[in-house]
Amino acid sequence: MDFSDVSLTALRVLRAVAEQGTFTAAAASLGYTQSAVSRQIAAIERVAGTELLERRRGGARLTPAGRVVMRRATVVLDEIAATARELSGLPEQTGTVRLGWVPSAGADLLPHALAALRDSDPGLDVVSREGGTPALVRAVRAGTLDLALLASAPPFRAPDNESPPLTLQTLTERPLRLAVPATHPLARGEYVDVADLRGQRWIAGSSAGEDRLMGVWPGLDERPEIAHTARDWLAKLHLVAAGCGLTTLPASLIRAVPPGVRVLPVRGGPQEQRRLLLAHLPAPPSPAMTRVATALRAAALDTRTPGPSS
């Protein structure tokens, strides 16, 4: 095996497939054809003498050998990027942390943490991007994210089945809430009984990178009537304010609720808790990652959930 024959293009393609989860999505992210991606993966696997990706019906994931190659490839690709910056006259980026986050973290906790870091650690560079939990987990595994804020719902299983398990820390655990038009009859009380949710019209949609339907109260014993679908949380809330239906809401988004919306707890049925997790690979975090994690934990304590909105 002579791994010196592996091209940087093949390493970039392998990282893209590992992060995106499918050959098709990797090709789109790189601007390649799917056949070009397949050829690059075949070439690197020939050199490795083994499969680096397990092809499954739902996509592709790294094999144990693939994880070894990906861990080393991430170092190589990062060094190449640093060399390019230095040659172009840009200052070397030191203390950079790549952070991924689910949409519910972006309304309150993340801005608080980043603002605190600007004051306490101005030399620290945090580069972040939004995504759904499955996509963020793949990015952490692929080495393109250092830390990720993930969403978790009961029964609170691990975010993936890969080995070794990701290191996870629960930052918040808060109840799911219901967003109701202020003019709706359900808005008159201080809570909503789950039995009163039968026959309601819902505003729903998939979270970024996820197929799971979000916006309908979990466990209803009827097929819900979906009046409108939207991926963006703010769009959902403005549709609620316009009287177009109801939607569920993570408690972390209560501060972003526009006028015309009441946010209420739901009683009856199982407790619907939602966790926000901080995830990283099981290797010891760098000092920069530790400082970002500390700021996120502090922000989680500072952004306590207010009561039901009016």
Q: What is the pLDDT of residue 202?
A: 96
Q: What is the pLDDT of residue 209?
A: 47
Average pLDDT of the segment spanning 242-266:
93
Q: What is the pLDDT of residue 2?
A: 66
| Residues contacting 293, CB < 8 A, separation 6+ | 147, 169, 278, 280, 285
- Please tell me which of 59-68, 141-150, 198-207 the model is most confident about, judged by mean pLDDT: 141-150
Helix (H) or strand (E) holding 43: helix 34-48
Q: What is the pLDDT of residue 310?
A: 43
Tokens standing for 69?
A: 């190659």
Average pLDDT of the segment spanning 244-266:
93
Q: What is the pLDDT of residue 303?
A: 66
Which segments within 145-270 are labelled E, that is strand?
Answer: 147-152, 167-175, 177-181, 192-193, 201-206, 213-214, 225-229, 247-249, 261-264, 266-267
Torsions phi, psi for 12 (to 5 deg): -65, -40
| Cα(35)–Cα(108) distance, integer angstroms | 42
What is the average pLDDT value for the chain, to the nearest integer? 87
Q: How many CA atoms lie within 13 A of 22 on its CB side?
A: 10
**Binning pLDDT at 50, 70 and 90, where does residue 307 land?**
very low
Average pLDDT of the segment spanning 49-72:
87
**Three-state DSSP class for 109?**
helix
Residue 85: is its pLDDT beyond 90? no
Write out pLDDT tens, residues 87-127. Answer: 766 555 557 899 999 988 988 899 999 999 998 888 888 99
**Binning pLDDT at 50, 70 and 90, where does residue 19 land?**
confident
The answer to whether 284 touches 239, Cβ cutoff 8 Å, is no
CB-based burial label for 82 (10 Å; 0-12, 13-18, 19+):
middle
Weakest-pLDDT range from 52-66, 89-103, 174-188, 201-215: 201-215
Q: What is the pLDDT of residue 91?
A: 56
| Cα(148)–Cα(241) distance, integer angstroms | 31
Average pLDDT of the segment spanning 132-143:
91
| Cα(202)–Cα(205) distance, integer angstroms | 10
| Cα(55)–Cα(62) distance, integer angstroms | 9
Q: What is the pLDDT of residue 100?
A: 96
Average pLDDT of the segment spanning 62-82:
84
Residue 153: is its pLDDT beyond 70? yes
Q: What is the pLDDT of residue 163?
A: 84
Which segments within the chain are labelled E, that is strand?
Answer: 53-56, 59-62, 96-101, 125-130, 147-152, 167-175, 177-181, 192-193, 201-206, 213-214, 225-229, 247-249, 261-264, 266-267, 273-280
The answer to whether 233 touches 253, Cβ cutoff 8 Å, is yes
Please tell me the pTM assigned to this model: 0.73
| Cα(252)–Cα(250) distance, integer angstroms | 5
Sheet with 213-214: strands ordered across: 213-214, 201-206, 225-229
The answer to whether 66 touches 18, Cβ cutoff 8 Å, is yes
Write out pLDDT tens, residues 201-253. Answer: 999 986 544 545 689 999 888 899 999 999 888 899 999 999 999 999 998 88
Q: What is the pLDDT of residue 89?
A: 66
